[in-house]
Amino acid sequence: MRKLNKPSRNVNDILDTYSTQRKNIFSEIDLPALKDHLIKCEKKYQSFAELAKLHEIKNLPCSGQELLPDFYEKYFLKQTKLRKIYDEIKLIPQNSECPYCGIVKGADLELDHYLSKKIFTEYAITPQNLVPCCAQCNKSKLDKNASCQEEQILHPYFDDFASEEQWLFATCTKDYDAIIYICKAPESWSQVNQERILYHFNTFNLAQSYGMLAAQEIREYDWLVKDYLYNNDREGLVHHFYERFLSLNRRYINYWKTALYQLLVKEYEHYETIFRITIKALCKAARMHE
């Protein structure tokens, strides 16, 4: 998970930017009253989010808010002036890195409604409820609504679990034929935070995603490892992996690459097995998807 800076825009900016050159979607309602309502909802959203209690937030009906999901789809995504705000939020993550999974997917990010726009219509255009993420994470999350604090996925604008103590680890199977990622929060954390990070990890199926990425990373090191081992320089290879681990760890302690190189430093006695079998497993998986 990656912590993000909050959007600089607010819901009032979005409604003020809205152009009525076409059909005015709000023509039959009291727009000033709706604005006032949405601004109050936005403040409430922030106060609940800062306490990690968005699961407790309730709908506060107001005339016109039922139009907001449609407004989001037809205007916020398509009208030129509003699209600029949409794109501003999409560009918040560095290098298009999805904050939910921490992976750079090499494609445009989407905006996920942290609280579903179908259920919580009043937050359909609230910028702090719009999280830029990859399509895979957006699909995994769907419109799930947390029923308790432990079922809240991490909120990139309000939670910072990425830079705290280590909770993401990599290990090998018994036969060293695969890299496995596990989520293990420190015992010093509260029970709620321990369960939240595990829920987030499972919701986005990070073990599988990270495991595949680790196998690909190992495949790219195939010839380098063979060269070190051929020259009987295991110590040099361990040092290489250790330097890589230190570099990654300085930036992100809870990152799939950091955990992988941490594992490789520890498992230096099994390099031949890890690199031989894992590469074969990756090639087999690739053939199955052809």
Residue 9's pLDDT is: 94
> Higher model confidence: residue 45 or residue 105?
45
Q: Would you state the pLDDT for residue 288?
A: 41
Return the bridge partners of 179, or none: 172
> Is pLDDT at 50 greater than 90 in this prediction?
yes
Mean pLDDT of 38-53: 95
pLDDT at 277 over 70: no
User: Which amino acid, one-letter code, is at 131?
Assistant: V
How does pLDDT run across 224-242, given as a tens digit for each residue? 888 888 788 888 989 999 9
| DSSP line for 3-32 | --PPPS--HHHHHHH---SS--TTTTS-HH
Q: E-assigned strands of 218-270? A: none
- Spell out the residues 6+ positions from residue 225 whose beta carbon is closer than 8 angstroms to its own: 237, 271, 275
Local structure of residue 104 (DSSP, 8 states)? B
| pLDDT score of 55 | 92
Query: Which residue is associated with the tokens 């074969």?
Result: 280
pLDDT at 22: 62
Identify the residue whose tokens are 């699961």.
Answer: 55
Per-residue pLDDT of 121-180, as tens digits, reads: 999 999 999 999 999 999 988 777 888 999 999 999 999 876 778 999 999 888 877 889
Query: Three-state SS for 97?
Result: strand
Q: What would the pLDDT profile of 166-188 be if each residue is shown by its tens digit?
A: 999 999 888 877 889 999 999 99
The rounded distance, in Å, linking the Cα atoms of 84 and 267 is: 49
Segment 52-73 mean pLDDT: 90
Does 275 score more than 80 pLDDT? no
Closest by CA position to 145, among listed 119, 122, 177: 119
Percentages helix, strand, coil for the chain (3-state, rounded to 5) are 55, 5, 40
